[in-house]
Chains A and B, each alone.
Chain A
Amino acid sequence: GAVVSQHPSWVICKSGTSVKIECRSLDFQATTMFWYRQFPKQSLMLMATSNEGSKATYEQGVEKDKFLINHASLTLSTLTVTSAHPEDSSFYICSARVVDRPYEQYFGPGTRLTVT
């Protein structure tokens, strides 16, 4: 139980284009999902907290107009990187909080984004 999937697992795009990453909780409902970014050999950096049916809360320094987050249902959150640039290349990971177990989070397998 508590499986989180991400799609795609990797994507290469050209500078200036937008990329959408999906995060799904497969066997549970998640009112809250989180988006992280991870650089090589570094730990996870929280980008934003996504609550179903409401606007995402972004961490300081994260551009909300560049990283658009939508949490339209209890099992799906999406992260859209708009007008991507090479510096946006990174490993993006989502996690989901189980509805009736608010102190547990389960992570997706991550999405490797490369912007050329």
Chain B
Amino acid sequence: EDQVTQSPEALRLQEGESSSLNCSYTVSGLRGLFWYRQDPGKGPEFLFTLYSAGEEKEKERLKATLTKKESFLHITAPKPEDSATYLCAVQAGAASGSARQLTFGSGTQLTVLP
């Protein structure tokens, strides 16, 4: 059974204080690891897809990295507008070769204080 664990559950940072969010996963045949941002009352907003260990992707103040067991979302010099819940999800490949559905972690609620 695919499992995704995110830590910490909640994180409060001062503006400009860099930090990292963790996503540990157990999945057979990883096809992709996804990071989403979700604001209250809205659907998840796609941030990154990582496909293989060693891969890194960046977008503004965010950088996502992937190893064989976990992924990190690094936030550099965060601003209050980065406050949101960050969700990690994995997708495994099915025996037929098609993709299975996403398995989500419980999320990290990030609050950046001005």
Chain A interface (Cβ < 8 Å from any Cβ of B): 2, 4, 6, 34, 41-44, 46, 49, 91, 93, 95, 97, 102-110, 112
Contact = CB atoms under 8 A, between A and B. Distances in A.
A29 to B, nearest CB: 16
A97 B98 CA distance: 12
The size class of the interface chain B forms with chain A is 20 to 34
A107 B101 contact: no
Contact of A112 (B41, B46, B49, B105): B41
B83 to A, nearest CB: 15
A109 B105 CA distance: 19
Contacts of A107: 36, 43-46
Q: Is the interface of A mostly helix, strand, loop or mixed?
A: strand
Contacts of B41: 91, 110, 112
Contacts of B105: 43
B34 A105 contact: yes
Q: Identify which of A4, A6, A93, A103 gathers the most chain B CB atoms within 10 Å of its CB.
A: A103
Interface in B39-91: 41-46, 49, 51, 87, 91
A93 B99 CA distance: 20
B98 A102 contact: yes
A106 B46 contact: yes
Contacts of A112: 41
A104 B104 contact: no
A73 B98 CA distance: 20
Contact of A44 (B98, B104, B109): B104
